[in-house]
Amino acid sequence: MSVNDAFRSLNVGLPEDILRRKLFGDLKGAVRLIDRRLARPDLPQGLRDCMTAQREMMLRTPPDYPFTRDQALARVRKHIPDFSEEEFDQRVDDGKIGWIYLGGEPHYFARFFETMCKADYQFARRAGVQLHGVESVAGVSGKEDRLERCTRLMMERGSLSNRIRIQAELRLKDELFTPGMFLRAHLPIPAACGQQSDIVIEEMTPAGGLLSPADAPQRTLCWEGTWEENPTFSVIYSYVHTAKFHDLSRPGTQAPAGEGELAPFLAEEPPHIAISGRWRPS
């Protein structure tokens, strides 16, 4: 079984003593207790899988939340000197700044400032920041920017299409590579659907990668073989993305959720997609 299959058991939940340590931010203590439990031969498989997945998540989480409160405030005040603590706390309370406890103290998401600049044009304008390559902030320049133009055209035409070009790469860490070893590498490729069409594989390195059929559930470009030098697997592809305009100010104009062609995409898929009684249709 792949370690990825362990994530299917996340909804089993952690034992209470381990969960308390995790929520407090004592991740080292939580991992220590998990290791003790995993050493027991009588542990139920579902719980074993859940703790295995949680352990991996805890080990990877801290680098994503590097800022203390003072450091996070300093990050904002570098661009907005008069940004107050009350404003910061209000955005935290509103869920606009991601945070977790680490060692009992709040630590804030590494890209919280960039996220606010991207999602809140008033904040971005105040900070005087236009992020490179980000077009989702409207109104920063005072002119019609790309997002505003796209919104206008979608409303006028009913949809809007763009050709998107992407390069993806994958390479094994050098310290893990041994000359002559067998490698199998997959890079995801878009599948044709209502939003994606005219898919073109423009370049691949190394040559000879195998492309999944157009109707594969998960399309990839795959390489496999033995290699004397550590290869970089790379693909450049393009496709036409079409976004349709839906007027969300007019509810009731579409089929009820869970019916028709959307049903497979609106169903529960635990543990990541679970519908509580609070939101389940009656």
What is the structure's pLDDT at 140? 55
What is the structure's pLDDT at 254? 56
Q: Which residues of the chain have pLDDT under 70?
A: 1-2, 130-143, 251-261, 276-282
- The region that residue 270 occupies, defined by phi over 0 for left and psi between -120 and 50 for alpha, beta otherwise, is beta
What is the structure's pLDDT at 255? 54
Q: What is the C-alpha separation between 8 and 268, in angstroms, rounded?
A: 13
Q: What is the C-alpha separation between 41 and 81, in angstroms, rounded?
A: 57
- Cα 94 to its chain centre, rounded Å, is 21
What is the structure's pLDDT at 131? 63
Q: Which two tokens stand for residue 270?
A: 């635990």
What is the structure's pLDDT at 282? 47
Are the beta carbons of 221 and 201 closer than 8 angstroms? yes
Are the beta carbons of 48 and 38 closer than 8 angstroms? yes
Q: What is the C-alpha separation between 90 and 105, in angstroms, rounded?
A: 18
Q: Is residue 233 classed exposed, middle or buried when 0-12, 13-18 and 19+ CB atoms within 10 A define those classes? A: buried
Q: What is the C-alpha separation between 114 and 76, in angstroms, rounded?
A: 10
Q: Give the tens place of pLDDT for each residue, 199-225.
A: 999 999 999 999 999 889 889 999 999
Is the pTM for the entire model greater than 0.75?
A: no
Distances (CA, A) of 236 to 99, 157, 163, 172: 35, 30, 13, 19
DSSP string for 124-161: HHHHT---TT-----SSSSS--HHHHHHHHHHHHSEEE
Question: Residues near 259 by Cβ (< 8 Å), separated by ≥ 6?
Answer: none
Q: Give the tens place of pLDDT for each residue, 136-164.
A: 555 555 667 777 788 889 999 999 999 99
Q: What is the C-alpha separation between 8 and 18, in angstroms, rounded?
A: 19
Report the run of H or E that residue 36 belongs to, with start and end.
helix 27-38
Angle formed at CA 67 by CA 61 and CA 71, multiple of 5 degrees:
180
